[in-house]
Amino acid sequence: MTPRAAVVIVNYGASAILEPNAATVQPPGDGFVVVVDCFSSTDERARIDVACRRHGWVPVLLERNAGFGGGTNAGAALALERGAEVVVALNPDATIDRESLAQLVQAAADDRLALVSPTILDGGGGVWFGGSDLYLDDGSIAGARRRAERAGRPRHEWATGACFAMSAELWSRVGGFDEEYFLYWEDVDLSRRVLDLGGSLRTLPVTAVHDEGQTHLDAVRGRAKSETYYYFNIRNRLLYAAKHGDAETVRRWSRATLRVSWLILMQGGRAQLRSIRPWRALARGIRDGRRALAGAPAKGRG
């Protein structure tokens, strides 16, 4: 029997992107699509309401911006109430074809302790995500294709939140996303907690497409990413260390903060540095990340 799956898509002011992408999503069997709207404006809320009625999507209408993790958690909670056996998270600027989705769902149902991902392509057909690693010596991140040049360094694999599936059992056991991250690194954290439970991260030979250019035109054109992107990536790296690192890991990551934060900032190129925004994000991210370290003692896990 085909497992019942719910595809959860979180919206924040992006209905014009979400609707055409989500309209292509066809969950197998009697599966369904859940659209979570984190409130951004009255007009946007109305557009999401109309889209849900038009396509038969199940709406979850939040009165605040709960972030990606919080929004996904709210959608997954409703999905489980409606009998979903598999939860699929999908970005609003991502698509996955019917057959690939069906294989993803079946794999998660068959291996109930696995977080299952497709290979994710970008809008031009290149590999956007094919596996990634968190390096435990300094808290830097690099794609799986760079493992050879970083051989010997301690690492954990992680799977992106842009598109993945897991059984209802695993979702409930792991507790969904940690909402303290708000944006970015919540998928790194989720992957770690799946592994800590004795689960696994699997990548299937199927594809999804994450056309980041729909929502991040500046990144495609080689200009700066958003101040929000920089802030939360810099801050949440240290939040992760506070939650998962032993005392030595916290010390190493703290010492490497300026270097790794600079690498994050430079994803937007040097031209952006003429603006105050990246510098402000850098300063705020380091400040609030260090507050997280001070407020949450290391847990004794390396």
Q: What local confidence, expressed as pLDDT, does residue 247 receive? A: 92
For residue 111 the two structure tokens come to 């291996």
- Percent of the chain exceeding pLDDT 90 equals 87
Q: What local confidence, expressed as pLDDT, does residue 295 receive? A: 81
Count of residues making up the chain: 302
Q: What pLDDT, in 10s, does the model give residues 158-170?
A: 999 999 999 999 9
pLDDT at 302 > cutoff 50: no
Q: What local confidence, expressed as pLDDT, does residue 299 receive? A: 54
Q: What pLDDT, in 10s, does the model give residues 192-232?
A: 999 999 999 999 999 999 986 554 444 444 456 899 999 99
Q: What pLDDT, in 10s, does the model give residues 114-129?
A: 999 999 999 889 999 9
Q: What local confidence, expressed as pLDDT, does residue 268 receive? A: 87
- Angle in degrees, CA 170, 56, 52, rounded to 5: 90
Q: What is the mean pLDDT of the chain?
A: 93
For residue 41 the two structure tokens come to 């404006």
For residue 278 the two structure tokens come to 């990246």
End-to-end CA distance of the chain: 41
Q: What pLDDT, in 10s, does the model give residues 170-188?
A: 999 999 999 999 999 999 9
Q: What pLDDT, in 10s, does the model give residues 24-70?
A: 999 999 999 999 999 999 999 999 999 999 999 999 999 999 999 99
Q: What local confidence, expressed as pLDDT, does residue 217 receive? A: 42
Overall average pLDDT of the 139-161 stretch: 94
In sequence order, the 6+-apart residues with CB closer than 8 A to the CB of 34 are: 6, 7, 8, 9, 57, 58, 59, 60, 75, 76, 78, 79
Overall average pLDDT of the 278-284 stretch: 95
Q: What local confidence, expressed as pLDDT, does residue 274 receive? A: 87
Q: pTM for this structure? A: 0.92
Q: Which of 146, 139, 120, 123 is nearest to 185 (CA)?
A: 139
Q: Where is 169: in which H helix or E strand?
A: helix 168-174
